[in-house]
Structures are given as structure tokens and as C-alpha cells.
Amino acid sequence: MADEIPLFFPPDSSDESSGSSILFSQNLIEEAELQDMGTSNRRRYIERQRELGHETLMADYFVEGPKYNEAIFWHRFRMLKRFFLKIVSDVEANDSWFQEGLDARGKKGFTPLQNVTSAIKQLATGSPLDENDEYLHMAERTSRECLEYFCDTVYKIYTSEFLRRPTSHDMALLYDAHEEKHHLPGMFGNLDCTHFVWRTCPTELRGKYMRGDH
């Protein structure tokens, strides 16, 4: 039977000592819980097959004749494959964190494809951090680091060209492009859903937001 920890609290002689009394009691409770569970603060190491994760990713999307085609890639990553590969190349060239290397145990780390895939999947689909463990063989902590480094690097690379505020010339080009594709002149707003057909649209609303010749 484990030794019992005496529940002793220092006397509360003043208001200043109340904070230390609460902290002291919390430490006692945490220590007792650790002893009851027979555990320690040391993290359990899990051997992850990083190479297998990279090979699976390559076979699914990036080899000749991949398992999933361009349409599925766009659906899952919310971008074209060539654009994705351009981002991978840019972040790898501008931040050594994304470059493949060896970890503290001398084993190969994650590839740039794995790191960028983890970050973009989190941004594109809102997937939880630990979702990448089974597919990319990546721990939750590493997935979080991927997202943080990715956002910082993308901001550093693309701010001056793509993340700046649009000029009047940019807006004119966007209006023209939107009108050419969607036949809605003078409109600029949420473009994500304008090209989808609402197959279950109520009869009384059909054609309400379309031009007469379309």
C-alpha cells in the first residue's frame, strides 16, 4: 500500500499567504494523483514510420499515375497540384525548418511534402492536429509546429505580392474576371460558391439571381 501524503496546509496568517496556500495544496494533489496512477511526467516515445508516411503520400498524389487524380487533389487541398508544389518549393528554399534532415537520434526527419501537407490540410479543412498521425505518421506537436512555421514562412515570402491590400487596378481586373466567368458585372464578394449549381433550389427561387440570357 502506497504511503499516504499528509494533508498539511500552512497557516493563513494574512491575505498575502492565501495565494501560496492554494498553490501548495494544488502541488500536493498533483503529486498524490501521480503516485496513485503509478505514472511520471516523462512522455512515452512512439516510434513513427516517417518514411512510410512519405511513400504513401507520394503514391497517393505525386507519382506518375497517382492513386488520386487532379480533381480529388483539388477537393482535398483546395488548390491545384502545381500550385501546391510551387509552395513546397518556395518554403523549402526560404526556411531551413522545412528542409529534410536528421533528428537528434540520427534518423531522417519529415520531408518538405509531409510538412506542407500537414499545414495546408489543417488550413484547408480544419482537421485536428492528431489526424495526421495515422496518415503522415506525424505527432500532434510536430503538426502544430508545421502550421506555425508554415504561416510565418508564407507571410514572409508572399506578403509583398499576394497578401497586400488590392489597388484600384487590381480591383478593376477582379471585376472583369468575375464578370467574364459568372456573368455578374460590378460584383465583388464571396466567389467560393458562385460556380456551384444548387440542384435542390426551390422552384420559386430558380433564376432569381441569374441574368435573363442565362
Boundaries of every domain in the chain: 50-158, 168-205
Query: 136: Cβ–Cβ under 8 A, 6 or more apart, which residues?
Result: 53, 57, 110, 114, 117, 118
Enter the pTM of the model. Answer: 0.58
Q: Rounded to 5 degrees, what are φ and ψ at 108? A: -65, 135
CA gap 212, 214 in Å, rounded: 6
**In 3D, which of 112, 188, 187, 193 has the Cα closest to residue 146?**
112
Secondary structure (3-state) at 108: strand
- Can you give the pLDDT of all 214 residues of the chain as single tens digits? 445 545 444 555 555 555 566 666 666 666 655 555 544 455 566 666 778 888 989 999 999 999 999 999 999 899 999 999 999 999 999 998 888 876 666 677 889 999 999 999 888 888 787 777 778 888 888 889 999 999 999 999 998 888 888 888 988 998 888 888 877 777 766 545 555 566 666 666 666 666 544 4
- Other beta carbons within 10 angstroms of residue 32's beta carbon come to 14
